[in-house]
Structure 1
């Protein structure tokens, strides 16, 4: 019987895109873990999600930043 290492694997405490029914897989890539924790249905959508409704929730820091002399502004255009 193998003994577990005393330190967890680096991805052990990171939420993974795996549903309870077994769909999905471990994501080893770089990710924003805090955003995954804040939006669990974006990381692991429910089986009933058809993907027809756009994601209306996003971080304001994801918007385009415009740098000007004397300051900056964030640009968001609602279509």
Structure 2
């Protein structure tokens, strides 16, 4: 049962990573299209796309933060 739950979690993570990657590409292309006429909106969309791209690496960022906090004695 535990192994099946782990496989479902991995599949869920892959699906979420794909969704974040797709949304970041959509944001980047939309920002590129709006760059000439609506710079402010393009910058906002570019920031949202950047956050979406960073979200792909959320598990690696969490592992790094836990490792740093453990090394400094917070836990």
Normalising by structure 1, what TM-score? 0.27
Higher RCO (Cα < 8 Å, 6 or more apart): 2
TM-score between both structures, scaled by the size of structure 2: 0.28
Structure with more strand by fraction: 1
From the CA coordinates, give the structure whose radius of gyration is larger.
1
